[in-house]
Structure 1
Amino acid sequence: MHAAAVESTTVASGLALPTTLVAKLLQIEFRDRTVYQYFGVPAEVHDALMRAHSKGRCFNSLIRGRFDYSLVTNAPSAPS
C-alpha cells in the first residue's frame, strides 16, 4: 500500500489505509508538507478525490469540515 501522488496546488498525496467495518481512514499530505488523517471517509469519497480534476476543490467540498481529523505532522519550520 502506498500514497498516490496527485497533481494539485493543494494536495500532495492521498492514501486510503486499511479499514475495519466501522472506521475508514484517509491520510492526506498537503503541499505545505502537513499530514492529516480523516476518519470515517467512505471509499466513494476517496475515489472521487483521486479522480477529481481539482483535488483542492474536491477536498473542500467533500472532506473539509465533514469528517473528524487528526494532525499527524506539521510542516517543517523554515531554517532560522
Structure 2
Amino acid sequence: MVAGGALLHEQVRSSNIRSVGYSQADRVLEVAFHSGALYRYDSVPADVHSALMAASSKGSFLARFVKGRYPYHRISS
C-alpha cells in the first residue's frame, strides 16, 4: 500500500495507472497515474472497484466503466 490522496493506495500493473485507492464506506475511488495526476471518483460501487482491480487492462476498464459514469475531480497534477 502506498499513500495517494486521502486513501491508502494499492500499486497496480498498468502502463497508465500507478495505484488505486478505494473507500467502501464513502464509495470513493482514487486513481493515481504515472504522469502524477490524481483523480477522485465519487459514488463508485464496491463491485466496480473490485472489477477494476481484477481487470487485465486497468486503463481500458477505467475508460469504459468509470470515466463519464461517475462524478470526479482532479486532486493533483
TM-score bracket for this pair, using the shorter chain length = 0.7 to 0.9
Report matched runs for 1:45-60 at 5 Å. Answer: 45-60=48-63
How much has 1:18 moved relative to structure 2?
4.9
Offset of 1:10 from its aligned partner? 1.4
Measure how far apart 1:68 and its partner are: 0.3
CA distance in structure 2 between the aligned counterparts of 1:2 and 1:34, rounded to whole angstroms: 16
Provide TM-score, normalisation by structure 2.
Answer: 0.85
Q: Match for 1:73 among 69, 72, 76?
A: 76
- TM-score normalised by the chain length of structure 1: 0.82
Unmatched 5+ stretches in structure 2: 1-6
Which protein has the bigger strand share? 2
Instruction: Select the structure of larger CA radius of gyration.
Output: 1
Q: How many correspondences in the alignment?
A: 71
Write out per-residue CA displacement over residues 5-64 of structure 1, whole angstroms, 9 at most, x where no aligned residue. 0000111110002524xxx10011011110010000000000011111100011011101
- Could you tell me which of 35, 40, 44 is aligned with 2:38? 35
Indicate the RMSD between aligned Cα atoms, in angstroms: 1.3
Structure-2 separation of matches of 1:16 and 1:66? 17
- Partner residue in 2 for 1:61: 64
